[in-house]
Chains A and B, each alone.
Chain A
Amino acid sequence: MAQQPSKSGGKVSRRDFMKLMAAAGTVMTFAVFADWGKFLPPPKQQSGERQMVELPDGSQANVNSFPVNHAEAVIFPKSDDPVLNKEAFRTWQFIRLPEELGGIKNDASAFRMYSMVCLHLWCLWKYWPEDGRKRGECPCHGSLYDPLTGKAFAGPASLQAPPSNVLPSLDLEITSDGNVWIKPPNWSPNGNGVVGFGRFLT
């Protein structure tokens, strides 16, 4: 006979025991579905491999050829579907910083890669290299982004509470041949950020 769990003072009736077993059985049966919540968020495409920075003309960005104080739109993560690739959420601004911000150096610190999706209402901002500008500007409501950190310093995006005032940013590395690669990201506000939402500045 199965042992009866003794409560303080008395035995458990057979009816209560059956009910307990039924409850436990139900829990056991349906507990397996708890993990199925993972179905909802879209798969992260964590290939674990780095991806090359592909410029619009098809070539890979190289530290020796990419001009200082210049920016290009880059697709990340690249998929096989040309429609998906055109998504705003997959476009990033690949920026080589101006001279005064350290753009001359030949290492990864001269480059930045920020999500082009403005943190305010998701228009696509661009980097403007002219004198007096040298910042990201959103054409919709005028949010301005600091190219050094990706933080909004003016406009409606700057008024939003963190993490929604700092652009998601990708980590870059440069191989010995000078090619620029994107390291596999950690899509969380504490890591590389969430596109359209933001990133916590560490």
Chain B
Amino acid sequence: MGLKFTFPSRFVSPLGFLGMLTFVIFIILGITGALLMLYYEPILDRAWDSVQNIDDTIPYGFHLRNIHYHASNAMVMVALLHMYYQYFSGRYKIRNEILWVTGIILGVLTILEAFTGYDIIFSERAELAISIAASLTNSIPILGPQMTEAFFGGGFHDFVLRFYAFHVFLLPIAMLGLMVVHFPRFLVFDIPMVMAITGAIMLTGGVFPVDMGLKFDPNVPPGITVPEWYLTGLYAFLRSAYDKFTTGVAWPGLFIFALLIVPFIDRYKKFSWKDRPIITAVGITSLAQIIVTTYWGFYIDPDRTKSLLERLVIDPVFLYLVMILLVPLSFGFTYMMIKLARNAEANAKVQPKKPTTKSSINLTEKWIYGIFIALLAFQVYLNIAAYYAVLSGMKNYSLFIIGIMMLVFAGMFHIFRHGKSMQKAPPPKPTLPPMPAKAKPASLAKTGQPEAPQIAAGTKELENSVAKENTLAPSAKGSSPSASSGSSASSGSSASSGSSASASSTSASSTSASTSVQSASKTESTGVQSQQKIVADEKK
């Protein structure tokens, strides 16, 4: 399986980077976690003390712990956004089902991983979380108590040690194994994005440092606590004081199951969210319900004169009514959005076509150097500021500054890359309108009416660069855009080859064409077919 890192030269949605960012955050968590392992002690009455040691005594322990905590939240958030992006753009279709299924399982494992993580701090909130997890497992019919004993053990000492084992090894190994299967065909990697998300995590760590919580003491009644935000929705259901198995195991299980089978029940042929109304409506409903239950899970009646139970319990009838009501509301909202989008499209089509000018910010060389030096000077200042902040004990401020430094580096790299590309290829002359990236290869193929010599030229390229391709039988009918992801990616890379072909010599264009053909060889043969035609057309 070949790896191909691409940075699309045309604008593609930044949401496409979410998957890569999730993985990068996983790496950050791995590294910070490994370092934290040097000081954390997973033994019952030493756990909380060791975490406090990391926070207060160990140099930069505070920083590492904060990065670890906020990165865990970021990973869940980015994974969630990534999932919804794939969902609403229909990318799980056509040979991507296995990616979707492994993705959902990875999402569940991510949440479990984050959950076990904050449980082993063994503050009172952590202990409550453990107890809820154990009681939910116990509530599973027939096998519940056995499962609890087998996995969690019997007693707090076992819980802490085993949760630690799950968190540090078992779950990450399972996640890595799934990630191997979850690998997409086209990887994107963008250093500015990676640095930006790292910076955002550190910034948040500086502004909202994670606290220790109170050490768990079984004789002290715990205060009112809520789980982390990704489990607060589930917590709202638990607070309805209904049967534990139904609210805590069955509902989330049903939700996960529904997500898993999405690509198998989606029978729409098109990809856009506007062309799959019911699927989009279901997605919006799930989003609305998640948001409402998450907020509800956090909300606790502020009236302190009421008893604790009164303040905490959520009336199940009310809860379920709201959940049910959200369904028609979300469906209505979705249909309205689709209608609006279609109207906007129709209006846009009626408008006379303006020449597609590439709107880009073109900086002169002087400006690029100037900005670079300014940013560099800023970095020097930030370094000094961060160092002094640490010296004077303002740890969270120093983490904040380091986050800013990451963001500045992202900006620097971005400008550096822009400067490099400016040096290599001067912008094309405005008389030649560049081919818009949205052009469908099929329509091109149909209107282009390629003659025999052009196809022959294309096939020669293929035979040179590709080892074995079975179905190379040119079938004009088969060149429909079978996988829009495949064809859009191949059109993206072919467009890049196109733009470089216009600027550099023919030898460069042939190599770039062969690389684009190579990438096309990974898609289906019909995709190859359309690729052939693009290559043929480019050579005009």
> Is B317 part of the binding interface, using a Cβ–Cβ cutoff of 8 Å?
no
Summarize B's interface: helix, strand, loop or mixed. helix
* Residue contact A42 to B158, C-beta cutoff 8 Å: yes
Chain B residues closer than 8 Å to A88, beta-carbon distance: 155-156, 218
Q: Say whether, besides A83-B43, A83-B45, A122 and B127 are in contact (CB < 8 Å).
A: yes
> Is A56 part of the binding interface, using a Cβ–Cβ cutoff of 8 Å?
no
Chain A residues closer than 8 Å to B138, beta-carbon distance: 164, 194, 196-197
* Residue contact A122 to B131, C-beta cutoff 8 Å: yes
> Is B44 part of the binding interface, using a Cβ–Cβ cutoff of 8 Å?
yes
* Residue contact B44 to A41, C-beta cutoff 8 Å: no
> Is B385 part of the binding interface, using a Cβ–Cβ cutoff of 8 Å?
no
> Is A152 part of the binding interface, using a Cβ–Cβ cutoff of 8 Å?
no
Q: Identify the stretch in A5-13, A22-30, A155-163 within 8 Å (CB) of chain B at 4 or more residues.
A: A155-163
Query: Interface digits, B114-158 against A, CB 8 Å rule (1 contact, 0 not)?
Result: 000000000000011001101100110000011011110111111
* Residue contact A196 to B134, C-beta cutoff 8 Å: yes
* Residue contact B309 to A41, C-beta cutoff 8 Å: no
Identify the interface centre among B127, B128, B156, B308: most chain A CB within 10 Å of its CB: B156
- Tell me which of A84, A156, A194 contacts B145 (CB under 8 A): A194
> Is B347 part of the binding interface, using a Cβ–Cβ cutoff of 8 Å?
no
* Residue contact B221 to A123, C-beta cutoff 8 Å: yes
* Residue contact A140 to B222, C-beta cutoff 8 Å: yes
> Is B507 part of the binding interface, using a Cβ–Cβ cutoff of 8 Å?
no
Chain B residues closer than 8 Å to A122, beta-carbon distance: 127, 131, 218
Q: Looking at the assembled complex, report how far the CB atom of A52 sits from the nearest CB atom of chain B, in whole angstroms.
A: 21
Identify the interface centre among A88, A155, A195: most chain B CB within 10 Å of its CB: A88
* Residue contact A40 to B150, C-beta cutoff 8 Å: yes
Give bound CA distance, A41 to B155, whole Å.
11
Chain A residues closer than 8 Å to B241, beta-carbon distance: 156, 159
> Is B219 part of the binding interface, using a Cβ–Cβ cutoff of 8 Å?
yes
> Is B307 part of the binding interface, using a Cβ–Cβ cutoff of 8 Å?
yes
> Is A139 part of the binding interface, using a Cβ–Cβ cutoff of 8 Å?
yes
* Residue contact B148 to A89, C-beta cutoff 8 Å: no
Chain B residues closer than 8 Å to A41, beta-carbon distance: 146, 149-150, 153-154
> Is B243 part of the binding interface, using a Cβ–Cβ cutoff of 8 Å?
yes
* Residue contact B128 to A121, C-beta cutoff 8 Å: yes
Residue of A nearest to B138 (CB): A197
Q: Say whether, besides A156-B241, A196-B131, A142 and B308 are in contact (CB < 8 Å).
A: yes
Chain A residues closer than 8 Å to B146, beta-carbon distance: 41
**Residues 30-53 of B contacting A (Cβ, < 8 Å):** 43-45
Number of A-B contacts (CB under 8 A): 79
> Is A16 part of the binding interface, using a Cβ–Cβ cutoff of 8 Å?
no
Give bound CA distance, A195 to B218, whole Å.
14
Chain A residues closer than 8 Å to B127, beta-carbon distance: 122
> Is B274 part of the binding interface, using a Cβ–Cβ cutoff of 8 Å?
no
> Is A105 part of the binding interface, using a Cβ–Cβ cutoff of 8 Å?
no
Give bound CA distance, A156 to B146, whole Å.
24
- Tell me which of A91, A140, A196 contacts B221 (CB under 8 A): A140
* Residue contact A42 to B153, C-beta cutoff 8 Å: yes
Chain A residues closer than 8 Å to B148, beta-carbon distance: 197
* Interface range for B: 20 to 34
- Tell me which of A87, A89, A141, A195 contacts B309 (CB under 8 A): A141
Give bound CA distance, A74 to B219, whole Å.
14
Chain B residues closer than 8 Å to A147, beta-carbon distance: none
Chain B residues closer than 8 Å to A164, beta-carbon distance: 135, 138-139
* Residue contact B155 to A37, C-beta cutoff 8 Å: no
Give bound CA distance, A91 to B219, whole Å.
11
Q: Say whether, besides A42-B158, A142-B307, A123 and B45 are in contact (CB < 8 Å).
A: no
> Is A150 part of the binding interface, using a Cβ–Cβ cutoff of 8 Å?
no
> Is A90 part of the binding interface, using a Cβ–Cβ cutoff of 8 Å?
yes
Query: Interface digits, B149-184 against A, CB 8 Å rule (1 contact, 0 not)?
Result: 111011111100000000000000000000000000
Q: Say whether, besides A141-B309, A189-B145, A42 and B154 are in contact (CB < 8 Å).
A: yes
* Residue contact B218 to A40, C-beta cutoff 8 Å: no
**Residues 4-58 of A contacting B (Cβ, < 8 Å):** 37, 40-42
- Tell me which of A42, A86, A141, A161 contacts B308 (CB under 8 A): A141
* Residue contact B150 to A37, C-beta cutoff 8 Å: yes
Query: Interface digits, A173-187 against B, CB 8 Å rule (1 contact, 0 not)?
Result: 000000000000000
Chain A residues closer than 8 Å to B45, beta-carbon distance: 83, 86
Chain B residues closer than 8 Å to A123, beta-carbon distance: 218, 221-222
Chain A residues closer than 8 Å to B93, beta-carbon distance: none
Give bound CA distance, A25 to B151, whole Å.
30
**Residues 113-164 of A contacting B (Cβ, < 8 Å):** 121-124, 139-142, 155-156, 159-161, 164
> Is B244 part of the binding interface, using a Cβ–Cβ cutoff of 8 Å?
yes
Residue of B nearest to A155 (CB): B309
- Tell me which of A37, A160, A188 contacts B244 (CB under 8 A): A160
Chain B residues closer than 8 Å to A142, beta-carbon distance: 307-309
Residue of A nearest to B146 (CB): A41
Chain A residues closer than 8 Å to B139, beta-carbon distance: 164
Query: Interface digits, B59-78 against A, CB 8 Å rule (1 contact, 0 not)?
Result: 00000000000000000000
* Residue contact B157 to A195, C-beta cutoff 8 Å: no
Give bound CA distance, A34 to B62, whole Å.
45
Q: Looking at the assembled complex, report how far the CB atom of B146 sits from the nearest CB atom of chain A, in whole angstroms.
A: 8
* Residue contact A90 to B155, C-beta cutoff 8 Å: yes
Q: Looking at the assembled complex, report how far the CB atom of B124 sits from the nearest CB atom of chain A, in whole angstroms.
A: 10
25 A-B contacts, Cβ less than 8 Å apart?
Answer: A37-B150, A40-B149, A40-B150, A41-B149, A42-B154, A83-B45, A83-B157, A84-B44, A87-B44, A87-B155, A87-B156, A88-B156, A88-B218, A90-B155, A121-B131, A123-B222, A124-B218, A140-B221, A142-B307, A155-B309, A161-B243, A189-B145, A194-B138, A197-B135, A197-B148
Beyond known contacts A37-B150, A122-B131, A164-B139: 6 more, CB 8 A cutoff:
A40-B150, A41-B146, A88-B218, A90-B155, A123-B218, A139-B221
What are the 7 A-B residue pairs with the smallest beta carbon separation, nearest first?
A: A89-B155, A40-B150, A88-B218, A140-B221, A41-B149, A122-B131, A139-B221
